[in-house]
Structure 1
Amino acid sequence: MSTQRNIRIMLADDHAVVRSGLRRLLEQRQGLEVVAEAESGEQAYRLFSEHLPDVTVLDLSMPGMGGLEAVRRILARHPSARMLVFSMHENAAFATQALKAGARGYVAKTGAPEELVTAVQEVAKGKIYISTGVAQKIAMQSLDGGNEPVNQLSAREFEVFRMVAEGLGAEEVAYKLKISQKTVANYLTLIKQKLGVSTPIEMLRLAMRHGMIEK
């Protein structure tokens, strides 16, 4: 008689209460096991190599380099990693960037708890899972032509754009992403060209229009 191995999960969210709730939710289901927890993108990157989980459930809005950069870095080192984003951001821009960075799933925190369980199980099988509401927004964006300028940004450019729009200076962005200020400046030049903006205020307005930050 063969026994099926548990799906081993790592949680990455900067709120301990959220991680605790997710652990309880997931471990109530037979076959799901949380093997590690991280409170930042940097910690998620370190712990992944130690535990090699089957699925990593992570938030995008974490201190430090953030979830999107964590997805990019983990996949650069472990190409077969299965990353599932669990985010408060329901707009198409974040979901599109997460999938572009290599995430296998995207679930909104506003959805039913059971949806996350389903998403973990599907991503563990190698499938892609996107919340219904988010998938509809991505589809609508495609129907509208899919020519939103934010979609032209690479995952790294998107992270720089988001951080600057939130008010971080070039020095802070460089520190969080572990790159030089000159590299940040180069990214900002490319970002402004792609988005057709020239000032931080215009970047802020564009970010607000896409629901990337609170108005």
Structure 2
Amino acid sequence: MNKQTTIGILLIDDHAIVREGYRSLISKQADMKVIAEAANGADAYQLYKEQQPDVVVTDLTMPGLSGLELIGRIKQRDSKARILAFSMHQNPSFARQACRVGALGYVTKSSAPDMLLQAIREVHLGRHILSADIAQALALENLGNETLALNSLTAREFEILRLLVEANTPDTIAKTLNISPKTVGNCHYLIKNKLGVNSDIELTRLAIKLNLVNLLDLADQA
């Protein structure tokens, strides 16, 4: 009889309580083990290099290096990396961008715990998987001009857009993404051009309309 394979997992979330809860859930599974944890993308990337986990489970919105950037960097280093995005964002645009940079699956944190466990197993097998709410949202998405324009953004442009509407300065964005302020400025121009807006105020309004950010988040940052 073959010995059951244990899936070694790198768990990444900036909230310690969240990590503790999901670590406890995973520890009850005979075929899974959390071998490393990180609270930010930079530490997670280093741990990936050191630990070589079977599956990476990462949040998308974290201080510093975001989940999208982390996924892209890991995939550049290891094209066979198996990554599951696990996020509060129920906007299908986040799922689309996560998959575009290399995630095999996307599960929202509002999903049942069993959905996360199923997704880890599927991703470990190299299969694509979406939680039911995201799959439905993608199927029902209204492909208006604004949504189509948003989908035309590259993963880098999408991430810069998110950071811009959260009131980060170009210098802060450049340091966060490890790129030059000039690159941020060029992307800023391209983003506005692709989305058909002329000012940052219009850009923020559109981001709110498309549920990339909400007013409560912006109020917290004020």
* Deviations, residues 88-135 of structure 1 (Å, cap 9, x unaligned): 001111111111111100001011111100110111011111011101
Q: How does 1:172-211 map to 2 (within 5 A)?
A: 172-211=172-211
Distance 1:124 1:39 in 2: 22
| 1:11 and 2:8 matched | no
RMSD of aligned alpha carbons:
1.5
In structure 2, what is the equivalent of residue 163 of structure 1? 163
Residue 146 of structure 1: CA displacement? 9.4
Percent identity between the aligned chains?
A: 45
Q: How does 1:1-215 map to 2 (within 5 A)?
A: 1-141=1-141, 148-215=148-215
Q: Secondary structure at the match of 2:14?
A: coil
Residue 197 of structure 1: CA displacement? 1.2
The amino acid that maps onto 1:172 is T
Residue 144 of structure 1: CA displacement? 6.2
Which is bigger in relative contact order (C-alpha 8 A, separation at least 6)? 1
Distance 1:208 1:145 in 2: 16
* Deviations, residues 5-51 of structure 1 (Å, cap 9, x unaligned): 20110001000111111111011011101011011111111111111
* Deviations, residues 35-68 of structure 1 (Å, cap 9, x unaligned): 1101111111111111111111110110002101
Distance 2:21 2:7 in 1: 18
Q: Is contact 1:58-1:86 (8 Å) kept?
A: yes
Distance 1:76 1:38 in 2: 20
Distance 2:186 2:124 in 1: 37
* Deviations, residues 148-199 of structure 1 (Å, cap 9, x unaligned): 2111011111000000011101011001001110111111111111111121
The amino acid that maps onto 2:88 is M
| Alignment gaps of 5+ in structure 2 | 216-222
Matched residues, number: 215
Q: Is contact 1:93-1:210 (8 Å) kept?
A: no
Q: Is contact 1:8-1:32 (8 Å) kept?
A: yes
| Alignment gaps of 5+ in structure 1 | none
> Relative to structure 1, is the Cα distance of residues 169 and 144 closer, same or farther in structure 2, using a 3 angstrom cutoff?
closer
The amino acid that maps onto 2:209 is R
Q: Is contact 2:147-2:210 (8 Å) kept?
A: no
Structure 1 segments (4+ residues) deviating >2 Å: 141-148
Residue 214 of structure 1: CA displacement? 1.7
The amino acid that maps onto 1:191 is I
Range moving further from structure 2, 162-171 or 145-154: 145-154
Q: Report the TM-score when normalising by structure 2.
A: 0.93
Q: Report the TM-score when normalising by structure 1.
A: 0.96
